Amino acid sequence: MSIKSFRFAGFSLLMVFMLAVAACGGDDDGNGDDGDVANGNGSITIETPGMEFDPDTITASAGEELEITLDNTDGQVHNFTLDEADFQVEAAGGESETATLTVPDEAGEYEFYCSVPGHRESGQVGTLTVE
């Protein structure tokens, strides 16, 4: 095998390796689905694909103004209710609605839920962690 052929084969293997690594890369679309809202980020989109929230955990700073978009991908009405902040945003089936939540001032864990009859009982709940 000539030096030229050896270099071409090495380059080809390197390219195949790089493509394989790129194909295995993360699928992070940056929409916050991991439930981790960066302090000061100020917004999150929560999907309701049925009797659940996605993400079902949110982390925010005490007193932060958090813009919540409820993206209802289900066919029936859902809402996001947080009693401690006297907050609710509701979206009809297939619709999205946005409202601003003032995060409670006290650190801790707070339950949010869908207040449509039967939804909370079916497990449509989540946790807001205030730092």
Which tens digit of pLDDT belongs to each residue from 36-66?
554 456 999 999 999 999 999 999 999 999 9
pTM over 0.75: no
Per-residue pLDDT tens digits for 22-43? 555 544 444 444 455 544 569 9
| 3-state secondary structure at position 29 | coil
CB 88 within 8 A of CB 79: yes
Positive or negative CA dihedral for 46, 49, 50, 52? negative
Q: Among 102, 103, 75, which residue's Cα sits nearest to residue 91?
A: 75
Average pLDDT over residues 6-24: 58
CB 14 within 8 A of CB 7: no
User: Can you read off the two tokens belonging to residue 39?
Assistant: 């302090």
| 3-state secondary structure at position 125 | strand
Position 20 scores a pLDDT of 55
Average pLDDT over residues 85-100: 98
With a cut of 60, say whether residue 101 has pLDDT above it: yes
Domains parsed from the chain with CATH numbers: 43-130 (2.60.40.420)
With a cut of 80, say whether residue 70 has pLDDT above it: yes
CA distance 67 to 79: 15
Report the chain's mean pLDDT, rounded to a whole number.
Answer: 84
With a cut of 60, say whether residue 118 has pLDDT above it: yes
Q: Express the helix, strand and coil content of the chain in percent, nearest 5 each.
A: 20, 40, 45
88: which strand partners? 81
Better-scored residue on pLDDT, 10 or 34: 10
